Amino acid sequence: MTCGHCQKRVEDTLNNLEGLEAKVNLKKEEALITVNGEWNGQTVREAIGEAGYEVVSITDKKSLFGR
């Protein structure tokens, strides 16, 4: 990702997936995704690929807060 248009396209693509909320950081070239329910990394990879981008890695970080 190199521009604001890229950032918006990736963010919109991810936010259109059910149960995901994404915020893209252009400087870091990464997306922080909040998952509400179940999710599938392959679905994320395919959606980003269809948007014209490539997922380099997916890191699953559990919330630090919970009940």
CATH number for the domain harbouring residue 24: 3.30.70.100
| Mean pLDDT over each residue of the chain, to the nearest integer | 87
Q: Is residue 7 pLDDT above 90, yes or no?
A: yes
Question: In terms of Cα–Cα distance, which of 5, 63, 67, 17 is closest to 42?
Answer: 17
The answer to whether residue 39 is domain-embedded is yes
Host H or E run for residue 21: strand 20-25
Q: What is the pLDDT of residue 53?
A: 92
Q: From CA 7, how far away is CA 25, in angstroms rounded?
A: 7
Cα dihedral 22, 28, 30, 32 sign: negative
Per-residue pLDDT tens for 25-55?
Answer: 989 888 999 888 888 889 999 999 999 999 9
Q: How many domains does the chain have?
A: 1
Each residue's pLDDT tens digit, 54-67: 999 888 776 655 55
The tally of CA atoms less than 13 A away on the side-chain side of residue 36 is 8
Whether residue 61 lies inside any domain: the answer is no
Q: Residue 30: beta bridge partners?
A: 25
The reply to whether 64 falls in a domain is no
Supply the range of the domain harboring residue 40.
4-50
